[in-house]
Amino acid sequence: MVQKLANIPRLVISAPQGQSGKTTITIGLIGALVARGFYVQPFKKGPDFIDPSWLSLVAGRSCRNLDCFFMDNDTLVGSFVQAAAGAHVAVIEGAMGLYDGIDLYGSGSTAQIAKIVRAPVLLVVDCRRMTRSVAAIVRGFKDFDPDLNVAGVILNNVARSRHQKMLTMAIEEYCGLPVLGCIPKYSGLVIPNRHLGLIPAVENENLQAVIDSIVAVARENLDLDRIMYLARQAPSLMIPGNMNSDRLSKKECTTIGVIRDRSFTFYYPENLECLERAGAKLVYIDALEATTLPDLDGLFIGGGFPEIFASQLADNRLLRHSIAERIEQGLPVYAECGGLMYLGRSIIKEERSYPMVGVLPFDVTMEAKPQGHGYTLMQVVRQNPFFSVNTTVKGHEFHNSRIVNLDQTQVKFAFKVQRGHGIDGEWDGIIYKNLLASYNHIHALGVKGWAENFVAAATNYAQTKEVYGKKSRAVREVM
């Protein structure tokens, strides 16, 4: 078989540690390149949902996640190549520090991602209260892994021209690397934060002004020509032989609703695409505005911040009752984290209780600190519409909510927690009729069969509805 090569200009934005300014600089760089007429495909290392919302908005293309815990190397490269098709350059934002992974050897780190896709790395260094020492940091990161191409530096929080000159000279003298940008210390770039990180970009239209400010600073202070030259030096990638070239080949056979609005924003593009490829027509629903569910064969409720919009969700009684009614009728429903919270009796926030859908027997209370955070492994122990028994489901969780008032004798769990916290440290995935709701988030590229099983359950439900409808019509005709 003839191996095909993909020539994709690309680079990784990383840093020695978190909170160094990676996201701000990545937003600025992408926006500045877009302003020059480039098509930029953004990527985010790791399972994050929030940073990708900002990168998607500024790029005008859906940001994709690259994650070694979810994906093997071929799957990761295949996803990268497919998403970057038609783009002039791919920009990957790292997470935490460049070499930080899930173990002593840096497994799953930004460095590992960069090596898998053979991308040069730009190191963002926060230079507050530092001059010549910057060279020791940069040289250490450059030399730590000889297989990694740390190819340039962007300086953040530079105080004044004298400070910039000293930093630049030290890096060029002792590290042999170019400085490709210097972001002033008092540039006034602040991205709004919340308990799980940044505020999702789609949540507030006023955040566009923040993006415009970041892009303006980047255009003035980044050397875009040299950065693009560096990206073009990335070698050709060998395209995996198992890449799916026919992305949406199956004929639509069923309709699955997706609740997607300001309160529910956490969806991987690949999860939605896998449902479409398996034969689903997706219908998007705004839980803040819609008063009833359309005619559906299945429903997907992702994560997000329902607690922020708890009052509005509670006020929409008609939709809550419509969802509860359909679930009682057997509608297949898959819900993750925020979706789990929405399906319970209530969300308790700041000593106030807001009624939710109410099909699951628990309440949710908000806490100041994360109650579950990190990658997960779930052993499937009970039959359900979405996962086969005795398989292991990889996922991740990140939530500040906690389930209370749950009588575990009244519920069935799909998952035994092998790694992570889940609902109570031992179990996750509440099953009710054809519904499965858990704190666990999955990525479809790392959980084979989920989309196909979801569509199969929806198709079966559609056939049941059709048979029931014919029987009802026959009874009416006899009467």
Active-site residue set: 337
- Token duo for residue 160: 């004044």
CA–CA separation, 378 and 403 (whole Å): 18
Do the Cβ atoms of 17 and 25 come closer than 8 Å? no
Helix, strand, coil % over all residues of the chain, rounded to 5: 35, 25, 40
Angle at 399 between CA 397 and CA 402, to 5 degrees: 115
What single DSSP character describes residue 95?
-
Angle at 411 between CA 432 and CA 385, to 5 degrees: 35
How many secondary structure helices (H) and strands (E) does the chain include? 13, 24
Strands 363-366 and 346-349: parallel
CB half-sphere exposure, 413, CA atoms < 13 A: 20
CA–CA separation, 191 and 218 (whole Å): 15
CB atoms within 10 A of CB 350: 7
Q: How large is the C-alpha radius of gyration of the chain?
A: 24
CA–CA separation, 306 and 347 (whole Å): 9
Residue that the structure tokens 């999860």 belong to: 271
Do the Cβ atoms of 240 and 77 come closer than 8 Å? yes
- Give the SS3 label for residue 342: helix
Do the Cβ atoms of 431 and 354 come closer than 8 Å? no
The continuous run of DSSP H or E covering 311 comes out as: helix 310-315
CA–CA separation, 278 and 300 (whole Å): 15
What is the four-CA torsion angle of 176, 181, 184, 185, rounded to 10 degrees?
-50
Q: For residue 67, give the amino acid letter.
A: D
